[in-house]
A and B are shown apart, each in its own frame.
Chain A
């Protein structure tokens, strides 16, 4: 393949670095390396970057300040999130905490909805402008190694398939066959993953503005718990310009152990009185599905081995902690740090595991691993049966009784309501105290 690739400093290899996967992690790795002067090939199995990628819908691109200053002037954004709601629901009730912030509608912004086929395509364009060579419609099918076991390149499904390099960065997403191939995962188990399914529903822009109470490019982000028909998980509603994204994430073993199919769980959520008025009359434009590495630190693989770094979802760096579902920013950051650490290692001529230690050091010093460490208990807590099933019932019942006017009876005391509804929901005081404490330690 050397005829098609740039010239590496070392004549024995096709290229300095192969980055596999032109998602947010891969493109940021490629930008960092190409700007540092190294030859980079960015492999993408889809016909264009983003064509295989689906998510809920909100990116937090602050980390791009470092690579693409004023990214917000050019990123293909749908709407800027100015309103965030967290909703707890039962079959017939819903309670929301609704937050609006006008400042998020102007530079430097906070979060934005964007379609991944647009966003990832745009970001990969920056990798190309920086000098990386993007090869689409090319699947990396395995790793090449030397006699010592060090990674020396990849095999691909192209006719002249093998591609050699001084270093490979695996940014091949949640299923990362490259990281598994390299033996970096201790265990691959369904319990560490959730399935996300989503509907992109078309509605006129004015209708969306009116239903969600926003104007212009302002957008809304709604995270929901208690909307998944008893399967542990959660739901979301996000506004694009002229579509609304509605979906659920479902814990795999729990999903497989019951009878409702994923699209039926979305359908049921859409009939809820808190959701139906937002989306009814809309036309299904696209149905999609994708996995999420949900378990955070407890599933994280080794991040480096001789000749190989792993970044983004491939390294399970997605943060799925209830009110936060952030993966794109963690992918962009880990990709960028992988690129910087790789450049450092290549300059020193040491791509052994120790030589690549700068990668994990960077992750440890920044939000990437600090957030994961701080929130390490969150995935298990948020997906626990109590938080998923009992607390929504309890909270809704307490709020209902606080707001219900039962004249001529006087208003009951909050403490009494709490005690009664806790018992009715089958929550032991000990567990409530323990979960409350765990919640404080986790999120506090």
Chain B
């Protein structure tokens, strides 16, 4: 259902949304996704469930992943049904997401 004032109150773009969260990015990726496994995955649970939208399907049928704006929530490794697709750890101490008004 759309509310009448929607037009005066547009949703922010996903990029602007993510720009509201602060990340102290470490040069080393804390989550590594094995694209060879993803290429054979048809369910793609991570794509819809990752709150930061970090799993992006590519035109050639693969999935690309970027760790930089990760909330470190754990959703992806829990919903992924393929063994060996995601190797998950926390970023090095002091890095990654820094919440402020949560």
Contact = CB atoms under 8 A, between A and B. Distances in A.
B17 to A, nearest CB: 5
Interface of A: 45-47, 50-55, 91-92, 115-117, 136-139, 141, 156-158, 174-175, 188-190, 193, 195, 197-198, 200, 240, 243, 252-253, 255-263, 267, 271-273, 276, 280-281, 284-291
Contacts of B2: 271
A253 to B, nearest CB: 7
30 contacts: A45-B94, A50-B99, A52-B96, A54-B102, A115-B101, A136-B93, A137-B94, A138-B94, A188-B78, A189-B78, A193-B78, A195-B49, A195-B51, A252-B75, A252-B78, A255-B49, A256-B46, A257-B45, A260-B48, A261-B48, A263-B17, A272-B3, A280-B3, A281-B9, A284-B12, A286-B21, A286-B99, A287-B17, A288-B102, A291-B78
B36 interface: no
A42 to B, nearest CB: 13
B99 A288 contact: yes
A115 B8 CA distance: 29
**What secondary structure prevails in chain A residues at the interface with B?**
loop
B9 A288 contact: no
Contacts of B100: 115, 117, 286
Contacts of A157: 92-93
Interface in B60-91: 71-75, 78-79, 89-91
Contact of B20 (A117, A252, A285, A289): A285
B20 A46 contact: no
Interface residues of B, number: 44
Contacts of A54: 99, 102
Given A139-B90, A262-B49, A285-B101, 5 more contacts: A137-B94, A276-B3, A286-B99, A289-B52, A290-B73
A252 B72 CA distance: 15
Contacts of B45: 256-257
B25 interface: no
Contact of B14 (A200, A263, A281): A263
A284 B101 contact: no
A380 B68 CA distance: 35
A366 B2 CA distance: 47
B18 interface: yes
A139 B48 contact: no
Contact of A263 (B43, B51, B90): B51
A117 B101 contact: yes
Contacts of A175: 74
